[in-house]
Amino acid sequence: MGLVGRAVPPDSLTEEEARAEEGARALTGMIAANNSRTLGHGKAAVDLNPETTIGQRLHYETVANGATHASEDYEIDLSPSQRSEP
C-alpha cells in the first residue's frame, strides 16, 4: 500500500489541496445520496471486529444484503425497470 499518491511542488500545494477537498466533497455527496439502510450495513461491516473469521464476515454480508434488498427503501432507490413490481 502506498502512502503517497502524488508529490507536488510546495508552491502548488494550495491548488492541490483545493482539488483534493473538491473531490472529497463530491465523494461524500455521492455516498450520502445512497440508501441509509445500505450505508448502515456497510458501516457495520467495516466496524466488525477484526478478529472475526472470513466465514463470519461472509455470513454478515449475506444477511445484510438480504435485509437491504427486502427493504422498502431499496425498492424506492431502484429505477422503475428494476423494481420487482410491474
pLDDT per position as a tens digit, 23-43: 888 888 887 777 677 777 777
Alpha-carbon span 45 to 32, nearest angstrom:
17
- pLDDT at position 83: 60
Average pLDDT over residues 8-25: 82
Q: Where are the domains of the chain?
A: 35-86
- Under 8 Å between Cβ of 7 and 43: no
Q: Quick one: angle between helices 36-46 and 54-70, nearest 10?
A: 170
pTM (two decimals): 0.41
pLDDT at 86 over 60: no
Q: How confident is the model at residue 81 (pLDDT cuts 50, 70, 90)?
A: low
- Under 8 Å between Cβ of 38 and 75: no
